[in-house]
Amino acid sequence: MTTAPSPLAGDPRFSGLLEAAHAVQPKTVALRRQLHQHPEQGLAVPRTQAAVLKALEDLDLRLHTGSKVGSVIGVLDGARPGPTVLLRGDMDALPLQEDTKLSFASRVDGSMHACGHDTHVAMLASAARILAARRDRLAGSVVFMFQPGEEGHYGAKFMLDEGLLDVADRPVERALALHITAKETSGVLRTRSGPIMASANSFTITVTGRGGHASTPSDAIDPVPAAAAMVGALQTVVTRRISVFEPTVLTISRITAGTTSNIIPETAELEGTLRTLSESSRATMLAEIPKVCAQIAAAHGCTTTFTVDAGYPVTINDDDVATRVTDIGRAVLGNDHVTAMSHPLMGAEDWSYVLQEVPGVMAFLGACPPGVDPADAAPNHSNRVQFDEAALPHGVSTYAAFALDVLR
């Protein structure tokens, strides 16, 4: 079936954007590779922050840096007053030893841009360059959000607390974040309405019994069988307490107990993650997990403690903005470079905090390496993941087109 043209096809606001993104591709690639070679983790990313400031220094932007985190915010004021649009690129890396053999591979032991945040920063910086050159076409302001600490460090929340949404003269009305992925065809933009990424909570269950000699378990209270029983029982909770139409993933990823073969330990510890696509399912599971574990422990003569982190909320795309991003993508990139996502992902994003405040979207940009089937490509968070840099102009032009559309 032939897809109808985008209702925005031929819109003069988008004329030449993709060509402009290709024109700045050398700068995009250079910044991306610089960041890739020098990855930084967490909320303090001084080298990355300095590189971003350097990349933006010749543009007509108002620049702000974070006081508690290593963030950068650039504000581009258009030629006329109007609303504010927010564009995000996250900056932090992951604790991995890179094994890609790329000429620009990480030079930092145990740290790698394995989730593509280096490409996000580079695309956003180049979008700022393109939009600065089109300042006369903007009625309003563009906020460029360069965010540290996405990988579990709540960087977006810190930036919100530091006044991210108040740096422009008028409130932010729309927001867009792009995320690159090696598991999709290069240059293809994908998004959907409603939930697009899951909430995430990590939790720890400590089971306490009474230690003793492994040859006489009757003289001890062994926490290991109790912990083992909990693993299976928690999966049953998912299937019996949560609707089949509410995707929920509970994974016990670590079990630790004991020191040697002839000792029954006093404690056993389970660590896991919970992912849901609704806050109601999340609340139900966080109430059920400690209840079930306590009852199983009691049956074995043990006790439990349950601790849980705050976790990222569900990332929920605004329906109208998602439709608009799809139309913009088709107009700028072409119908064959935009596809709908059939289902959400169970990964989590702190962009969710921004979308709780502003109507906006998370969208994915495919960057599968040339000659590789997306199904066979190393995924994000792999020490072998690679991204096709030829996809970057598609991200740059999508960012720019979104801003031009909101500030028309």
Angle between helices 392-406 and 117-132 (to 10 degrees): 50
Q: What are the counts of helices (DSSP H) followed by strands (DSSP E) for the chain?
A: 10, 16
> Cα(143)–Cα(346) distance, rounded to whole angstroms?
28
Question: 71 with 65: CB under 8 angstroms?
Answer: yes
What is the DSSP secondary structure assignment for residue 4, as one 8-state letter? P
Question: 306 with 270: CB under 8 angstroms?
Answer: no
Is 162 in the active site?
A: no
> Cα(156)–Cα(88) distance, rounded to whole angstroms?
10
Assign residue 149 a region (left: φ > 0; alpha: ψ between -120 and 50; beta: otherwise): left
> Cα(349)–Cα(178) distance, rounded to whole angstroms?
12
* Both tokens assigned to 408: 């028309």
Going from the C-alpha of 348 to that of each of 152, 196, 304, the distances in angstroms are: 9, 9, 28
Q: Are strands 360-366 and 172-181 parallel, antiparallel or unpaired?
A: parallel
Active-site residue, selected from the candidate residues 312, 349, 353, 399? 312
Question: 181 with 367: CB under 8 angstroms?
Answer: yes
* Both tokens assigned to 112: 């790698």
Is 389 in the active site?
A: yes
Question: 11 with 122: CB under 8 angstroms?
Answer: no
By annotation, the residues acting in catalysis are 312, 389
